[in-house]
Structure 1
Amino acid sequence: MKIKWQSLLALSLLSFSSLLLAEDNNTQNNKEVLSLENCHLKGIKSQVQCGTLQVPENYSLPEGEKISVNFAVLPAIDSSQNKTPLMFLAGGPGQASVELAAHIFSTFGEIKKSHDIILVDQRGTGKSHPLSCDENEVRNAYEIIPEDFSPQEIKDCIAQFKGDLSQYNSENAIRDFDAVRVALGHEKINIYGGSYGTRAALVYMRLFPDALNSVVLDSVGPIEVPIGTFGQSSARSFNLLLENCQQDESCNSAYPSLKDDFTAVIARLEQAPVNLKIAHPRLGTKTDFVLSRSKFISHLRMQLYSMQTRTLVPLVIHQAFLGNYQPMIGLIAMSEGGMGMYVGLTLNIVCNEDFPKITTEMFAGDANNTFGGNDSHSAWLQACPLWPKYAVSDDFYQSVTANIPTLILSGNLDPVTPPSNGDESAKTLPNNHHIVSKNSAHIVASTPCGIEIVNEFLTTLNPNDLDESCLAELKSETFMTHLNGNL
């Protein structure tokens, strides 16, 4: 369901001739057809390669129903170095890697100088048998909010899915990824996973350790830590923002009572949501919008992911305290259309791989915070009981142990995958180094410094003794103190 359901997204992932995939006992025993040809992707001027690979929907029935897995290869600028390719594992769950190609092409530029970058749309996303529902084109970020989350909407969505939902899981996704590796003729690859992509990377390490040259886990979502309980980590990130504002002379001067302002706004919206008339982000017409407590917190949480948008949070809170909600509306409009999540896959994975692990005590503990209470998991409590169930493999929740060179990256300000997550995964990975960037939030490699460290690691394959000095140069938030900027 490629629908911008912010209540879920904020909680929380073609002219070459056809080739025949060689037989590979580690991946599958039957031969599958690979299609690969030159192409152009949106946002990338140079020619790349696009392909599809037919794989079993159910790997236990290799001669049964097939699905098409979509992928792209961003060729290295200097292929003469013949360096091991890097496969990018997207976040979510529910992001399609190929749809992120332009962003990856730009952000991973240093790496692409000497490494091919392989992008695979995870099954259930993009052009890999997407779990999508018909979407009303009028829908937008103003309208897709927690209160619009209805049981009937989920039931209607499930009814439109074709295929066996139980096969759209993390382990089969990795079997697809490895099938692409084999089809492209690579004995080994490096993998980079960000956010949910780290969960996928850990599963890859378990299923196909011999196929991996090195692993980068950026903003870790360990298998042991279920997706959907982000209340405590969001509160931690928000409290760090409050502390940083208090310690910043300009921010503290502009917002001396920021925490009290936030508490007052939340109490006001809890008592009486605000009815607003706002401009539709695409149509330009006036749209009725009801700003509730949960909407305010949900969208505020989303701003904590990025160092750029974190700088706006104090201004947004204070202006809301003064009765001006336009800065918040602006942030909501900015997020409209930006997530590109296939929420059908999000629900299918989280409701089966994570939700069953979360006990009543865990939900209660997660809700015991001063930021959003139980808002981080309330949507899952509504949706998951309605979603079809499947059983995960017996060893799925066991800690991953693999002696593969592994670089772990965490942002200290991350609202969803805090450094403690990286520590959890590091416990059972003997050949790892965990770097915590003090002034980073979600996805450390989104900065030139982070990419520089990743690139060095891919060159040395030694997670230790990397040059981390650039992290000390990353500045903390420079908060906006006026509606027209900093004066």
Structure 2
Amino acid sequence: MQVLILAFLLFSFSAHAATKPCRVDGFATEVQCGQIERPLNPADPSGKKIQIHYMVLQAQDRNKLADPVFMLAGGPGQSAINVASWAEGPLNKLQRRRDLVFVDQRGTGRSAPLECPETQDLSKIADAEWGIAALKSCKAQLQKLPYGDLRFFTTAIAVQDLEAVRKSEGYPAINLLGVSYGTRVGLEYLRQYPQTARRVVLDGVVPPDYALSGSDLQKALDSLFGDCSHDTACQKAYPLLAQSWRELLASLPKATVLKHPRLNTEASVSMSRDTVLGMVSAVLYSPLNSSGLPFAITEAKAGRFNPLLALSGMTALPNPGNIAVGMHYSVWCAEEAARLPLIIEKDDFGRFRTEAYRKICADWPRGEVPAVFYTLPKSPQPVLLLSGGLDPVTPPAHAAHVAQALGAKARQVVLGKSGHGMLMQSCVDDLVYRFINSEDPQKVELSCVKPIPRPVVWVLPKS
């Protein structure tokens, strides 16, 4: 008995030897914060160093389990620590007996951040060339930082940081919950460290072996048009919605006056085709926001772009989900740019997204990505893949492809009318809890996930 007590005390000490109490925005009480030193270039361990910061929400019960849940943020470019307060709710049941760990991936949050200052200047919001020039200027400033060699912020390197945090905290194995780009991080961790990944949950799957494009955005918009044509209220309010969209694009560029939805300031701009495509892309991520898109398209066709501006969130206050833009392009230009010339887009969104990345990545420093990164080995561990049927960027077909490659221990769940990110939909939080908590995840019942209707389309009330 004394040996067992001693072993428990040793585990309890080692599990949090590297952390200390701290205050983090979004939490009313103290949490645990830690940091570890890592080489900027793993091939040069004696060279420049960076600090990897992380936060631990400790298990609530004394009889805690040894395997925590590591939350992997999206983007690429989101800070896991910054979005922790959002994730705490759906992960509350898991925290009863497991630590929740949030690691700021290198280039984000507090871990050697690569941030480009955001602009609230409405007079430039529609100028795509200005945006590219601003990114080039930002890149030059980032390269002056002590850790400014932008080649060393790839996913494969960042996963090694996660493993270093696991070792520092003394966890024998970990569960991974990746959202959006975080699913690619989770898959790479599973590839590099399969024996310490106990369970893996992937929400909005980004396959490493698919060249990503914008064509799924067009499919999501076409789905909205199709649903509208079969809905009596929507069809009555917007009888020629798809035609209005085509006419809107054909009319661009168009001079207009934009009004900031928060500050009430105005700016005269020329709305370009790319700007409108970018705004609509942002709206399509959320079915709830998309319910206002028929109205916004109709208004934009008439020269009034303010509803579309507001829905897009382009002038929103900084929020925990904001992206470290320098890290975003350091990752994406390394991992996707080489495949861009192979993509031939056939629709407006595809051309817009692909051309934007081609221009930005043309002279962005690119890290080396091993060929094995783009592979999907059979998984020795159980994996749960979550997909939204209306997801415009990581549709169910992506998850189905990954599930087939991972093998018999992978299971996919699709929520038909959900968008990008399922964790807060239906009973998904309970499903994730049972999948991670079960000794036999293959026997976990998935039927609680029921289809939900598309949000009702917004129609201007009659005066």
Is the TM-score greater than 0.5? yes
Instruction: Check conservation: 2:376, 2:406, Cα contact below 8 A.
Output: no
RMSD value, Cα: 2.6
In 1: Cα distance, 2:150 partner to 2:13 partner: 28
Say if 2:74 is the partner of 1:97: no
In 2: Cα distance, 1:117 partner to 1:199 partner: 19
Equivalent residue runs for 1:327-476 within 5 Å = 327-333=307-313, 336=316, 337-338=318-319, 339-360=321-342, 362=343, 364=344, 367-369=345-347, 371-430=348-407, 431-460=409-438, 462-476=440-454
Letter in 2 for 1:143: I
In 2: Cα distance, 1:327 partner to 1:178 partner: 45
Instruction: Write out per-residue CA displacement over residues 89-126 of structure 1, whole angstroms, 9 at most, x where no aligned residue.
Output: 11111111011121112332333333221000000111
Say if 2:71 is the partner of 1:70: no
Say if 2:458 is the partner of 1:480: yes
Instruction: Write out per-residue CA displacement over residues 418-450 of structure 1, whole angstroms, 9 at most, x where no aligned residue.
Output: 111112211221211111111111111132522
Letter in 1 for 2:287: M
Map of 2:202 onto structure 1: 217
Equivalent residue runs for 1:59-208 within 5 Å = 59-82=42-65, 84-133=67-116, 135=117, 138-139=120-121, 143=125, 146-151=128-133, 153-161=135-143, 162=145, 163=147, 164-208=149-193
Q: In the superposition, relative to structure 1, how do residues 167 and 372 fare at CA in structure 2: closer, same or farther (>3 Å)?
A: closer
Q: In the superposition, relative to structure 1, how do residues 483 and 76 fare at CA in structure 2: closer, same or farther (>3 Å)?
A: farther
Map of 1:302 onto structure 2: 282
Say if 2:257 is the partner of 1:276: yes
Instruction: Write out per-residue CA displacement over residues 427-474 of structure 1, whole angstroms, 9 at most, x where no aligned residue.
Output: 221211111111111111132522121111111154434333343252
Letter in 1 for 2:259: I
Instruction: Check conservation: 1:34, 1:51, Cα contact below 8 A.
Output: no
Secondary structure of the 1:50 match is strand
In 1: Cα distance, 2:198 partner to 2:350 partner: 42
In 1: Cα distance, 2:133 partner to 2:13 partner: 44
Q: In the superposition, relative to structure 1, how do residues 144 and 291 fare at CA in structure 2: closer, same or farther (>3 Å)?
A: closer
Unaligned stretches of 5+ in structure 2? 1-11
In 1: Cα distance, 2:77 partner to 2:258 partner: 32
Letter in 1 for 2:360: A
Instruction: Check conservation: 1:194, 1:217, Cα contact below 8 A.
Output: yes
Instruction: Check conservation: 1:432, 1:463, Cα contact below 8 A.
Output: no
Q: In the superposition, relative to structure 1, how do residues 138 and 200 fare at CA in structure 2: closer, same or farther (>3 Å)?
A: same
In 2: Cα distance, 1:245 partner to 1:198 partner: 32
User: Which 10-residue stretch deviates more, 388-397 or 402-411?
Assistant: 388-397
Instruction: Check conservation: 2:115, 2:324, Cα contact below 8 A.
Output: yes
Identity %: 28
Secondary structure of the 2:63 match is helix
Q: CA deviation at 1:37?
A: 1.1
Q: CA deviation at 1:353?
A: 1.1
Letter in 2 for 1:383: I
Secondary structure of the 2:229 match is helix
Instruction: Write out per-residue CA displacement over residues 328-347 of structure 1, whole angstroms, 9 at most, x where no aligned residue.
Output: 12224566234411111111
Q: 4+ residue stretches of structure 1 with deviation over 4 A?
A: 19-22, 136-142
Secondary structure of the 1:242 match is helix
Q: In the superposition, relative to structure 1, how do residues 421 and 461 fare at CA in structure 2: closer, same or farther (>3 Å)?
A: farther
Instruction: Check conservation: 1:190, 1:215, Cα contact below 8 A.
Output: yes
TM-score (norm 1): 0.85
Instruction: Write out per-residue CA displacement over residues 285-325 of structure 1, whole angstroms, 9 at most, x where no aligned residue.
Output: 33333322211121111111112212111121122234432
Instruction: Check conservation: 2:258, 2:305, Cα contact below 8 A.
Output: no
Map of 2:268 onto structure 1: 288
Q: CA deviation at 1:50?
A: 1.1
In 2: Cα distance, 1:475 partner to 1:243 partner: 14
User: Which 10-residue stretch deviates more, 47-56 or 205-214?
Assistant: 47-56
Secondary structure of the 2:373 match is coil
Q: In the superposition, relative to structure 1, how do residues 193 and 383 fare at CA in structure 2: closer, same or farther (>3 Å)?
A: same
Residue in structure 1 matching 2:222, options 213, 236, 239 = 239
In 2: Cα distance, 1:198 partner to 1:137 partner: 29
In 2: Cα distance, 1:374 partner to 1:483 partner: 36
In 1: Cα distance, 2:26 partner to 2:359 partner: 37
In 1: Cα distance, 2:172 partner to 2:287 partner: 38
Q: In the superposition, relative to structure 1, how do residues 67 and 465 fare at CA in structure 2: closer, same or farther (>3 Å)?
A: same
In 1: Cα distance, 2:245 partner to 2:119 partner: 34
Instruction: Check conservation: 1:71, 1:121, Cα contact below 8 A.
Output: yes
Q: CA deviation at 1:187?
A: 0.2
In 1: Cα distance, 2:123 partner to 2:437 partner: 42
In 1: Cα distance, 2:170 partner to 2:122 partner: 43
Secondary structure of the 1:125 match is coil
Unaligned stretches of 5+ in structure 1? 1-18, 23-32
Q: CA deviation at 1:417?
A: 0.7
Q: CA deviation at 1:151?
A: 4.1
Letter in 1 for 2:266: K
Secondary structure of the 1:107 match is coil
Secondary structure of the 1:193 match is strand
Q: CA deviation at 1:393?
A: 1.7
Instruction: Check conservation: 2:426, 2:450, Cα contact below 8 A.
Output: no
Q: CA deviation at 1:54?
A: 1.0
Map of 1:312 onto structure 2: 292
Q: CA deviation at 1:155?
A: 4.7
Q: In the superposition, relative to structure 1, how do residues 66 and 474 fare at CA in structure 2: closer, same or farther (>3 Å)?
A: same
Count of residue pairs the alignment pairs up: 446
Say if 2:24 is the partner of 1:41: yes
Q: CA deviation at 1:483?
A: 5.4
